[in-house]
Copies of this chain bind each other. A is one copy, B any other.
Amino acid sequence: MAYTVGQVARAARVTVRTLHHYDEIGLLRPGGRTPAGYRRYDEADLDRLQLIRYYRELGFPLEEIAEILDDPDSDPVAHLRRQHELLSGRIGKLQEMVAAIEHAMEARTLGIQLTPEERFEVFGDFDPDEHAEEAEQRWGDTEAYRQSQERAGHYSKEDWLRNKAENEDWGRRFVALMDSGAPADGPEAMALAEEHRQLITKWWYDCSYEIHTGLADMYVADPRFTAYFETLRPGMAAYLNEAIHANAITRA
Chain A: interface secondary structure? helix
A47: B residues at CB distance < 8 A: 119, 154
> What residue in chain B is nearest A163 (Cβ atoms)?
B77
Binds B, one of A49-57, A182-190, A212-220, A226-234: A49-57
CB-CB under 8 A from A204, the residues of chain B are 77, 80-81
Task: Give Cα distance in the complex from A7 to B119, angstroms.
Answer: 14
Chain B: CB-nearest residue to A153: B76
Q: A47-B154, A117-B11, A123-B12 are in contact. Are A87 and B98 (CB under 8 A)?
A: yes
| Residue-wise interface mask of A (133-177) relative to B, using a CB-CB cutoff of 8 A (1 in contact, 0 not) | 000001110000100000000101100100000000000000000
Q: How large is the interface on A (under 10, 10 to 19, 20 to 34, 35 or more residues)?
A: 35 or more
Q: Is A13 an interface residue (CB 8 A)?
A: yes
Partner of A87 from B1, B13, B97 at Cβ < 8 Å: B97
Given contacts A11-B117, A75-B160, A80-B204, 11 further A-B contacts (CB under 8 A): A11-B119, A12-B116, A43-B113, A44-B154, A46-B119, A54-B101, A80-B105, A84-B98, A87-B97, A90-B94, A94-B94
Residues of A within 8 A of B (CB): 1, 3, 7-8, 10-13, 43-44, 46-47, 50, 53-54, 57, 75-77, 80-81, 83-85, 87-88, 90-91, 94-95, 97-98, 101-102, 104-105, 108, 113, 116-117, 119-120, 123-124, 126, 138-140, 145, 154, 156-157, 160, 204-205
